[in-house]
Amino acid sequence: MSVAKNQSFPTRLLFALTGLRHGLSAERSLQVQASVFVCVLVALVALRPGPLWWALVLVASAAVFAAELLNTSLEHLIDHLHPEIDPQIRIVKDCAAAAVLITVFGAIAVAVCLAVELLRHR
């Protein structure tokens, strides 16, 4: 059994925050997504959509961050366990990257729907 499994919640939270900090400091795509997220928050404050739209945008944004962090963790694990280039490993990494891309497309769809909603009611 993993030692991390039996740690206190504050300790496990620290592990998660350490992972987030690493992702933000080391991954360019996560840095871009974080910058876009800040802009999205500013837009939400300025446009003042209803609570449901806030929830949809925040859930979509969280999904993008989660997908990117999972992709990053998979890439690091794969590179550690299998540093040489292999076509089968490439497929795993490409599928993980595709999962991030699909999640981003979903977030963009939420943004487009919000824009249509706001334009319709102006």
Question: Domains of the chain: which residue ranges?
Answer: 7-120
Q: Which class is 7-120 in CATH?
A: mainly alpha
Give first-to-last CA distance, the chain, whole Å: 57
For residues 55 and 61, give the distance between their C-alpha atoms in angstroms, rounded to a whole number.
10
The ranges of the chain with pLDDT < 50 are none
Tell me the helix, strand and coil percentages in the chain, rounded to 5: 90, 0, 10
Question: What is the rounded distance in angstroms from the CA atom of residue 122 to the CA atom of residue 120?
Answer: 6
Instruction: Determine the pLDDT at residue 69.
Output: 96
- Whole-model pTM? 0.88
How much is the pLDDT for 4? 58
Q: Give Cα separations from 27 to 67, 70, 77, 83 (angstroms).
A: 13, 12, 15, 19
